[in-house]
Every structure is written in structure tokens, then in C-alpha cells.
Amino acid sequence: MGNYFQPEIECASREEIRAIQNERLVKQVKHVYDNVPMYRERMDEMGIKPEDIKSVDDLHKLPFTTKDDLRDQYPYGLLAKPLEECVRIQSTSGTTGRRVVAFYTQHDIDLWDECCARAIVAVGGTKEDVVHVSYGYGLFTGGSGLNGGSHKVGSLTLPMSSGNTDRQIQFMTDLGSTILCCTPSYAAYLAESINERGLRDQIHLKAGIFGAEAWTEEMRHDIEDKLGIKAYDIYGLTEISGPGVSFECEAQTGMHVNEDHFIPEVINPVTGEVLPDGEKGELVFTSISKEAFPLLRYRTRDICILSHEKCPCGRTHVKMTKPLGRSDDMLIVKGVNVFPSQIETVLLNKGYAANYQIIVTRVNNSDNLEVQVEMTPEMFSDNVSDITAKEKELVAALKAMLGIYADVKLVAPKTITRSEGKAVRVIDKRNLYQN
């Protein structure tokens, strides 16, 4: 049997979980109907009253929420609590330059931290551990989520944030970090650097919790071998709370969804029809205990499979596979969400033609984003330094929009590949999705 942070919930019987979900869903639907005009209007249009939702069996009657809704309702439209009761925001990039801002009450932060604490305990974390958090801190949910989880466990927390590899390794050796939390690509990079410096025998890591981007089993084995640890996956999204919506246990065969807070469904992305266990489709979440920013049936665009098969770890919560793909064109580069439309917006704002191609590669386990842009007569100058100055300006504008560095490459007109008249916008050479 494994280690649990909240065994009475994590190992509750299916009937108990169902009872918690029924009670919380009914309450949540009423809360949302009373406080969020968008949901009230939609439910009224569909002729659904909060009283019609009596249990999880009625979940499919509720309207979906999409990323477009979040954009349209920015910033306060989906807020279900008075602002004075909120204590935090987190944010993530959205399409066409509008960010998603999620609000949290103290209750929401606490339940999020508990979810992350479950993930830390599941990989063997205790208050004796030193949890090294190298996710970015700030608006990104990675840093604060695992930071909060580690506090709940009572571990010594190192709020390293990302970057500055020398300092990361120094703290790891000097303070004896035992659990590393970061993106898998940064973990691979750190592993590489530690081995290059011959410091492998001076680190004390035993486990890692790596999420916020897609990674393969090969990458898992590579990190495990290089650091001598067990590497675990974690899943989450700002819209629902952050990392810890689901997490991997010692079985390493999928991530347990924290079902007492988030009800997952898998749907056919075209028809919206709910699919049974074992079928591949778009993952949808309903937050049933959050107060400030509770979303009903939020379409994640991640393609997944759910499984209620009994897990050897003793947890009873449903497991989801790693995302097997996306039902939209979002890319995750260096742990950051990137939409081609954001890049297009920057190009058009800067007076370029919307003729571009995005090429994503992973070299030495580190993502690289290249944006190829076709040269235009307006852009061109006989003076090379004028062109490179404009190129730099574009790099800066892309950085401001995306939050990450993109390499700009100017190419000759009409050279960007077009297939059947439609330009191929994205070439992802990373092969992240295995199925």
C-alpha cells in the first residue's frame, strides 16, 4: 500500500466518492446559476433549472464552457464570488492575445494546495523531504501550486523558480533536495548539467513531479536513469485550478483525477456526446468545490482516455492517460501555451504578411520555437542592419505576446509550404504524442 495525504478521500469507495460528487455538484450548479449571468442565460435558454440537476447522472444536461467563453467573459464575467472575497489570481495565455485570468478565494487555494499535497505524498513525500520547486513562479500556476502543496505536506520548500542552472544545482547539493518539481524538459536539462559536472553522487533526489507539457516514456526513462529517481507525471490547467487536477501514483500507469473536486468526462469533440470508459475523446472538467471561478463542463481540448480499473496503489479515483493529443491547434512549448493565432496577431500588428510557419523542435530535451516569416517589400531594405533591427523588434513583440523566446527566420516569398492551397502553419517535430 502506498502513501496518502488524505486516505479517507483518496481511497474512499466509489459510492462514497459518488455521494460527495452528487452533493457538491448540486450545490455548485445553484451557486453558478445564482452568480454567473452567462451560465444562468445558457441554462435558461436550454430550459434547465438548478433543481433539474440532482446528481452526477444529470451532468450531461449542463452546457459546456469553452476557451472562447473565457475570452469573451474576460476579466470578471465568470467570477462567482465578490472580488473582496478573492485572494489571488493566476493567469495563462489565451488565444488572440487575451489572457485567461482565474480567481481564487482562500478556500480555492487551500483545496488546490491539498491536491498538490496528494501528488507529493503519492511520490513518497513527507515532512522530512526537501521539495525543490523549479517551476516558474508568478502568474504561471506551476510554482505556486507545488509550493502550496509542499507547505501542506510540511516539507522544506525551496522556491527556486525556473532558470539559473548553477544556483539550482548548488542548492540541490548543499541543501539536499529530495523531490524535484519542474517541467520534464527542464528536468532533463538539469539531469544533463548535473552529469556533465560530475555531481550525480552529490545529489539526493529520489523522485520528481514533472508536468505542464507533454513528454514521452523515453524521456521519463532518460530522466530516471540520469538522476537515479522515479519520475512522475502531474496534470492541471489554470482554468480548473492548476497542477494537481490529476497526478500519478507509484503504479505510473495514468493520473488519478481528484474527483472530489473535479468531475472528468470524455466526450466526442465533434458531437459533444459523452463517451464511456476506455474510449478516446476530449477531456472535460466540472469544478464542484471551487468558489470564485467554478467552471461547468470545461472543454480542455486535451484528448484522453479515462479508466476506472482498480489501481494497485489503493486509490479509487479514476485515472486519465497522459494527453494523447489536442483537439485544437494549441502547442505547449517550454511549458507555455502557444496558439498560432497569437503569432499571427503579432505579425499582422507589425505589418507583416500573415504568411508564416511555426517549427517546434526539441534539441537535447529543450524546446525550440522558430517562426519563419516571408519577407515583404515593405520590410525589405538594402541595408542589412535595418532588416535585423526589424527582426529584433519582431522577436521582442513575440516574447511579449507568448512569454517565451521565439527565433525569427526571414524567408523568401512563396517559400512556405502550402498543401492543397492551405498553408501548413505548424510543424511540430517533437513527436510528443505516442498513440
Partner 1 sequence: MGVKQISIFVENKVGNLAAVAKIISEAGVSLASISLADTKDFGVLRLIVDDAYNAANALRDNDYIFAITPVIAVETDDAPGSLYKILTLFEENNINLEYLYDVSSGKKSNNAVLVFKVDNIDKVEELLKSNGVKLLNQEDI
What's the min distance (Å) between Cβ of 409 and partner 1?
Answer: 5
User: What is the C-alpha end-to-end distance of the chain, expressed in Å?
Assistant: 31
CB nearer to partner 1: give 13 or 385: 385
- Alpha carbon of 358 to those of 111, 184, 412, 429: distances in Å? 38, 22, 15, 11
What's the min distance (Å) between Cβ of 351 and partner 1?
Answer: 14
Site string for partner 1, 366-385 (x = CB under 8 A): ---------xxx-xxxxxx-
State yes or no: residue 363 binds partner 1 (CB under 8 A).
no
What's the min distance (Å) between Cβ of 395 and partner 1?
Answer: 13
What's the min distance (Å) between Cβ of 171 and partner 1?
Answer: 36
State yes or no: residue 37 binds partner 1 (CB under 8 A).
no
| Contact criterion met (CB below 8 Å) for 171 and 145 | no
Is the bond preceding residue 75 a cis peptide, omega within 30 degrees? Answer: yes
| Contact criterion met (CB below 8 Å) for 249 and 311 | yes
State yes or no: residue 361 binds partner 1 (CB under 8 A).
no
State which of residues 412, 419, 421, 435 lies at the interface with partner 1 (CB under 8 A).
Answer: 412
> ∠ CA(351), CA(352), CA(354), 5° rounding?
125
Burial of 312 (0-12, 13-18, 19+ CB in 10 A): exposed
Map the footprint of partner 1 across residues 190-229, applying CB under 8 A: none
State which of residues 20, 395, 411, 416 lies at the interface with partner 1 (CB under 8 A).
Answer: 411
Continuous segment of H or E residues that includes residue 256: strand 255-257
Q: CA torsion sign, 268 to 269 to 274 to 276?
A: positive
Residue 372, C-alpha cell as written in the block: 519563419
Name the one range near partner 1 by CB under 8 A: 60-68, 225-233, 245-253, 411-419. Answer: 411-419
What's the min distance (Å) between Cβ of 376 and partner 1?
Answer: 7
What's the min distance (Å) between Cβ of 277 and partner 1?
Answer: 50
CB nearer to partner 1: give 27 or 409: 409
State which of residues 23, 106, 413, 417 lies at the interface with partner 1 (CB under 8 A).
Answer: 413
CB nearer to partner 1: give 349 or 388: 388
- Alpha carbon of 280 to those of 222, 254, 328: distances in Å? 28, 14, 15
Q: Are strands 356-363 and 366-374 parallel, antiparallel or unpaired?
A: antiparallel
State yes or no: residue 270 binds partner 1 (CB under 8 A).
no
State which of residues 127, 310, 414, 422 lies at the interface with partner 1 (CB under 8 A).
Answer: 414
Residue 384, C-alpha cell as written in the block: 542589412
What's the min distance (Å) between Cβ of 366 and partner 1?
Answer: 20
What's the min distance (Å) between Cβ of 396 and partner 1?
Answer: 17
Continuous segment of H or E residues that includes residue 147: helix 141-153
Name the one range near partner 1 by CB under 8 A: 77-85, 141-149, 158-166, 412-420. Answer: 412-420
Total binding residues for partner 1 by CB under 8 A?
18
Q: Please name the residues in contact with 65: beta carbons below 8 A apart, sequence gap of 6 or more.
A: 295, 296, 297, 298, 299
Q: Which residues bind partner 1 (CB under 8 A)?
A: 375-377, 379-384, 387-388, 409-415
